[in-house]
């Protein structure tokens, strides 16, 4: 269908009567200039304005210098324009343009927000995890510990005889505070020991075969107990799982958090504490030994024993291999003033014989 109108080429003020066709990609304008037929095609993308709608006039503007314009005789051509070029920018109302601007502003703000979330994920999450674990009430920690214990015990073969003897040794040790400490001796060819939040220690029987005295065993217990008492385990565990826990929190429910931690109980077997925490646990163990009538030097002996061991698969206590010697050196300074001999240990060594005995 052709429309009638007047074409202004930017030079003639009167314009030319023209026939207008709405083609797919352009508007075709045909007119006579000095009796010569002229055809002009307007690329739709170059039409930048439609005007005077309120006065029932329909004028399109095209190009820049000079600006060409086209006035339709029939205002109803506007519907035909919308039908043919509905998505073209010149047909969008100022309101729609503002909306578009707002949309792009929203897009920019959203990108900035996503950027911030990524940055907080990398930098803030560990800090938040740290704070959350520090504030975790003891009741939640022991509830968590029960779940972790049950899950881990189902994975191991418990040596109940050795466990009973080891527990009797531990029951005779002076602890910090009133919370009990539970020890489990499990059968495994690996050499490992690890602590559970809430107050349990798992020790692999193969690890005990490397020890030559009950005092080094007490040093090991003291070191693992430090990770529990000083809350290294719960802090490191939550920190290691922080991104996983965040996802659980976002897409699941908050009450599922402890279940999520228990699901990852395996992580405890190879949890690596940072060097500062290991050193703190070593120092704690020295004090623990002395408090229980042993020489604090046994903690250094324990590290020396383990350092010389070969074929260690996972070993919490010397997981930070390059640091072991510096830890031993630090302990020597720490325990220089401590006598070499055990002072008043009241442990029944028959119990140690049971724990140490190779099956
Ligand atoms: Zn440790």
Beta bridge partners of 4: 19
Provide, for the chain, the percentages of residues in helix, strand and coil under a 3-state DSSP scheme, each rounded to the nearest 5: 55, 15, 30
- The whole-angstrom separation of Cα 118 and Cα 41 is 50
Ligand 1 center to 269 CA (angstroms): 11
- The whole-angstrom separation of Cα 20 and Cα 342 is 109
- The whole-angstrom separation of Cα 137 and Cα 147 is 16
Does position 314 have pLDDT exceeding 50, yes or no? Answer: no
Ligand 1 center to 273 CA (angstroms): 6
- The whole-angstrom separation of Cα 142 and Cα 200 is 10
Ligand 1 center to 282 CA (angstroms): 8
pLDDT category of residue 21 using cuts at 50, 70 and 90: very high
Q: Note the pLDDT tens digit of each residue in 202-251.
A: 999 999 998 889 999 999 999 999 999 999 998 888 888 877 777 776 76
Ligand 1 center to 70 CA (angstroms): 83
Does position 188 have pLDDT exceeding 70, yes or no? Answer: yes
Share of the chain above pLDDT 90, in %: 34
Whole-number pLDDT of residue 95: 66
Ligand 1 center to 180 CA (angstroms): 19
Beta bridge partners of 19: 4, 30
Q: Which of 25-29, 54-58, 226-230, 232-236 has the lowest mean pLDDT?
A: 54-58
Average pLDDT over residues 48-63: 77
Whole-number pLDDT of residue 131: 80
Higher pLDDT, 121 or 353: 353
Higher pLDDT, 306 or 253: 306
- Label residue 39 exposed, middle or buried (CB < 10 Å: 0-12, 13-18, 19+): exposed
Ligand 1 center to 320 CA (angstroms): 9
**Interaxial angle between packed helices 232-240 and 125-135, expressed in degrees from 0 to 180 and rounded to the nearest 10:** 140
Ligand 1 center to 165 CA (angstroms): 23
Give CA angle at 213 (211, 216), nearest 5°: 70
pTM, to two decimals: 0.64
Higher pLDDT, 308 or 232: 232
- The whole-angstrom separation of Cα 257 and Cα 250 is 11
Structure tokens at 106: 């929203």
Ligand 1 center to 17 CA (angstroms): 93
Whole-number pLDDT of residue 313: 43
**What are the CA-CA distances from residue 315 to residues 44, 145, 148, 307, 331 (Å)?**
73, 21, 19, 11, 19
Ligand 1 center to 271 CA (angstroms): 9
Ligand 1 center to 188 CA (angstroms): 19
Ligand 1 center to 90 CA (angstroms): 70
Does position 312 have pLDDT exceeding 60, yes or no? Answer: no
Ligand 1 center to 275 CA (angstroms): 9
Ligand 1 center to 116 CA (angstroms): 35
Ligand 1 center to 44 CA (angstroms): 73
Ligand 1 center to 24 CA (angstroms): 75
Average pLDDT over residues 65-72: 86
- The whole-angstrom separation of Cα 37 and Cα 16 is 11
Ligand 1 center to 281 CA (angstroms): 6
Higher pLDDT, 317 or 321: 317
Cα-Cα-Cα-Cα dihedral sign, residues 106, 112, 118, 120? negative
Beta bridge partners of 256: none
Q: Note the pLDDT tens digit of each residue in 77-98.
A: 888 888 888 888 777 766 666 7
Average pLDDT score over the chain: 84
Share of the chain above pLDDT 70, in %: 88
Ligand 1 center to 237 CA (angstroms): 13
Does position 331 have pLDDT exceeding 60, yes or no? Answer: yes
Whole-number pLDDT of residue 39: 92
Ligand 1 center to 193 CA (angstroms): 9
Ligand 1 center to 225 CA (angstroms): 9
- The whole-angstrom separation of Cα 127 and Cα 243 is 12
Q: Note the pLDDT tens digit of each residue in 243-291.
A: 777 777 676 665 666 777 777 888 888 788 888 888 899 999 999 999 9
Residue pair 107/48 in contact (Cβ under 8 Å)? The answer is no
Ligand 1 center to 219 CA (angstroms): 11
Q: Which of 180-194, 211-225, 295-309 has the lowest mean pLDDT?
A: 295-309
Ligand 1 center to 57 CA (angstroms): 84
Does position 295 have pLDDT exceeding 70, yes or no? Answer: yes
Ligand 1 center to 317 CA (angstroms): 4
Ligand 1 center to 183 CA (angstroms): 16
Whole-number pLDDT of residue 60: 86
Look at residues 76, 74, 72, 11 and name the one whose alpha carbon lies nearest to residue 47: 72
Ligand 1 center to 27 CA (angstroms): 79
Order of strands across the sheet that contains 193-196 = 157-158, 182-187, 200-204, 193-196
- The whole-angstrom separation of Cα 296 and Cα 215 is 9
Beta bridge partners of 3: 20
For the chain, list the strands marked E by DSSP: 2-8, 16-22, 26-33, 36-43, 47-51, 58-62, 68-72, 157-158, 182-187, 193-196, 200-204
Look at residues 239, 217, 216 and name the one whose alpha carbon lies nearest to residue 298: 216
User: Which residues 6+ apart lie within 8 Å of 73 measured at CB?
Assistant: 3, 4, 5, 6
């Amino acid at each position: 269908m052709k429309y009638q109108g007047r074409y202004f080429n930017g030079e003639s003020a009167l314009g030319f009567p023209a026939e207008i066709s709405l083609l797919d990609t352009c508007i075709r304008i045909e007119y006579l200039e000095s009796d010569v037929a002229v055809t002009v095609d307007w690329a739709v993308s170059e039409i930048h304005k439609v005007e005077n709608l309120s006065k029932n006039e329909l004028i399109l503007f095209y190009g820049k210098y000079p600006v060409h314009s086209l006035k339709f005789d029939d205002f109803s051509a506007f519907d035909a324009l919308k039908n043919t070029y509905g998505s073209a920018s010149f047909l969008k109302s100022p309101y729609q343009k503002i909306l578009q601007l707002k949309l792009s502003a929203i897009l920019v703000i959203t990108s900035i927000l996503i950027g911030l979330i990524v940055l907080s994920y990398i930098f803030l999450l560990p800090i938040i995890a740290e704070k959350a674990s520090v504030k975790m009430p003891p009741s939640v920690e022991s509830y968590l510990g029960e779940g972790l214990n049950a899950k881990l015990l189902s994975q191991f073969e418990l040596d109940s005889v050795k466990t009973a003897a080891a527990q009797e040794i531990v029951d005779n040790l002076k602890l910090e505070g009133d919370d009990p400490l539970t020890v489990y001796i499990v059968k495994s060819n690996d050499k490992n020991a690890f602590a559970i939040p809430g107050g349990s220690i798992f020790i692999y029987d193969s690890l005990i075969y490397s020890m030559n005295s009950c005092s080094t065993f007490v040093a090991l217990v003291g070191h693992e107990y430090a990770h529990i008492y000083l809350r290294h385990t719960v802090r490191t565990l939550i920190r290691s799982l922080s991104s996983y826990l965040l996802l659980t929190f976002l897409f699941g429910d908050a009450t599922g958090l402890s279940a999520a931690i228990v699901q990852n109980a395996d992580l405890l077997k190879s949890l690596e504490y940072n060097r500062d925490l290991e050193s703190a646990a070593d120092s704690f163990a020295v004090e623990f030994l002395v408090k229980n009538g042993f020489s604090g030097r046994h903690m250094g002996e324990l590290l020396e024993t383990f350092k010389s061991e070969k074929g260690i698969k996972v070993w919490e206590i010397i997981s930070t291999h390059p640091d072991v010697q510096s830890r031993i050196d630090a302990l020597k300074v720490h325990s220089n003033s401590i006598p070499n001999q055990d002072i008043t240990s009241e442990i029944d060594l028959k119990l140690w014989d049971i724990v140490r005995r190779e099956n």
